[in-house]
Amino acid sequence: MSLDIIRSDLLDGVQHGFFTRKGGASSGVFEGLNCGFGSSDQRDIVSINRARVADAMDVTPENMCSVFQVHSADVVTVDGPQTGEAPRADALVTATKGLALVILTADCQPVLFADRDNGVIGAAHAGWRGAIDDVLENTIAAMVALGAKRDSITAVIGPCISQRAYEVGPEFLDDFLAANDENARFFANGDGDRYLFDLPGFGLHKLREAGVGVAEWTRHCTYHDAERFYSYRRSVHRKEADYGRMLSTIRL
């Protein structure tokens, strides 16, 4: 099966892709293109899957730069192939050609950034915690430090969980209201004391507030399309033992 890659017209001219679960070598609950070494999938199978992504991006696996994601707001600047363990962070930026920046997700937002005019790119993993703690703003600031201009940056949010699938409790709402009362607009009433949170809507708001030139969400929901996407929340609801991780990447 061939790889299924979602691309954005806004990032035309920059090689990138939000890879779905299709076209991989994994089986069972991981069936497809599971790219997460943090899963309980066989490591050699995950390596095969990541090699397929590298081939599609026309880079060597060694030039795929990643981070050990911890739901932080930390950003790493890379200027060459990584050696040793991946740094603990949730975003990467570079102005070095030939390096592919890699983010893994399974409901959280994968966000790809590019300033084509100034030759700077970025990639961020933005769950609710990272988003509220400014991982997107920090990624943009790190790009600016490499020579990017805020109003020249394009940011695209890839497949993530949509509002109709993201049920949360009242304490979750309280965290967002404590940060800013206006965050109430990203919540809709659910059943009982539950709310429905608009993660990509919040992400777009944060990107636009940070001054990027243009931002969009691809409008793919990971939870509701099991054939194309892995979903942590769906795996919990189905009482599955584990879940796969999808890879999103961008390179100059």
The predicted structure's pLDDT at residue 164: 97
The tens digit of pLDDT for each residue in 180-191 reads 999 999 999 999
47, amino acid identity: S
Please state the rounded mean pLDDT for residues 159-180. 96
The tens digit of pLDDT for each residue in 98-157 reads 999 999 999 999 999 999 999 999 999 999 999 999 999 999 999 999 999 999 999 999
Q: How high does pLDDT run on average in the chain?
A: 97
Residues in a beta bridge with 91: 75, 124
CB burial readout 102-128, b (16+ within 10 A) else e: bbbbbbbbbbbbbbbeebbbbbbbbbb
pLDDT band at 82 (very low <50, low <70, confident <90, very high): confident
The fraction of the chain above a pLDDT of 70, given in percent, is 100
The tens digit of pLDDT for each residue in 187-229 reads 999 999 999 999 999 999 999 999 999 999 999 999 999 999 9
The predicted structure's pLDDT at residue 217: 98
The predicted structure's pLDDT at residue 84: 83
Q: Does residue 83 register a pLDDT over 90? A: no
Please report which residue ranges of the chain form alpha helices under DSSP H: 43-56, 128-132, 135-145, 170-179, 199-209, 232-237
What CATH topology corresponds to 5-162+198-251?
CNF1/YfiH-like putative cysteine hydrolases (3.60.140)
Q: Does residue 1 register a pLDDT over 80? A: no
Contacts for 84 with CB less than 8 Å, ≥ 6 apart: none
User: What residues does each domain of the chain span?
Assistant: 5-162+198-251
Q: Does residue 252 register a pLDDT over 80? A: yes
